[in-house]
Amino acid sequence: MSTKELTEQILKKKSFLSVGLDVDIDRIPTYLLSEDDPIFEFNKAIIDATHKFCVAYKPNIAFYEANGVEGWQALEKTINYLHHEYPEIYTIADAKRGDIGNTSRMYAKTFLKDLGFDSVTVAPYMGKDSVEPFLEFDNRQAILLALTSNEGAFDFQTQQIDGEELYKKVLKTSKTWKNSENLMYVVGATKAEFLKEIREIIPENFLLVPGVGAQGGKLEDVCKYGMTKNVGLLVNSSRKIIYASESSNFAEIAGAKAEVLQQQMADELKQL
């Protein structure tokens, strides 16, 4: 999907919500465990109940890899279900890949071609040749980790190198890479106070903002400095939505949680 189409979906649905499909087999309702594919059945119920209120889904690949072959099968069924039932939805493989170019090409093929995700998260640490293979696909994006939501972000990302924070160097240098128009960036909602300076470096690019909900990030803070005239935001929430209830109506309750966030987003969009 192009970023123009993504913006159109955001304005149509009055939502820039991404629902995180971080499916932990130990946290899903126990009655689902007797199904052939409990992870997929959980995802299907969550997607059917929340799709009206969001524009994107973000499966975190770790939760699927942790279940071996069955996890990969559940991931493939989930992305196929989204493509077939809700083709207007933007999809993010939160895989945080990046390696020497020859290897990155294989990661890019897996997520952006074979599985057909719209985007994949990529770590910038190995530099240009590790990221450019993810930028070669039309209407697909690589989402580069810029300033992450966790405490450890202060270990390296905010450290000064030659008088400038490392995350700012990542933003500036990545703009010089081939097909950099296909870049989006991860900025944690817990780091909203950095957004003003981040927007001075990348005024237009979409940001994927995780950390609202379980990690304590605030939607209004993110919007205040992160929103552009074309919105430019995908705000993700995972656990607060998908594990809102363990009862048999878990999906309905997840839908209600997603709707609360969507309503707040609709209010923020009125200020555009």
Q: Where do contacts with ligand LLZGTKA7 occur on this chain (CB under 6 A)?
A: 20, 22, 60, 94, 148-149, 186, 188, 210-211, 213-215, 236-239
Closest to ligand LLZGTKA7 by CB, 12 vs 27, is 27
Which of 96, 169, 224, 240 does the annotation list as catalytic? 96
Query: 3-class DSSP state for residue 153?
Result: helix
Closest to ligand LLZGTKA7 by CB, 1 vs 17, is 17
- CB 209 to ligand LLZGTKA7: min, Å: 9
Exposed/middle/buried for residue 66 (C-beta within 10 Å: 0-12, 13-18, 19+): exposed
- CB 208 to ligand LLZGTKA7: min, Å: 8
- CB 210 to ligand LLZGTKA7: min, Å: 3
Closest to ligand LLZGTKA7 by CB, 67 vs 215, is 215
Helices 250-270/219-226 angle, 10° precision:
40
- CB 169 to ligand LLZGTKA7: min, Å: 18
Neighbours of 156 (CB within 10 A): 13
In sequence order, the 6+-apart residues with CB closer than 8 A to the CB of 270 are none
Active site residue 96: yes
Closest to ligand LLZGTKA7 by CB, 102 vs 207, is 207
Name 160's bridge partners.
165
For 177-209, give one letter per residue: b (16+ CB within 10 A) or e. beebebbbbbbbbbbbebbeebbebbeebbbbb
Catalytic (active-site) positions? 96
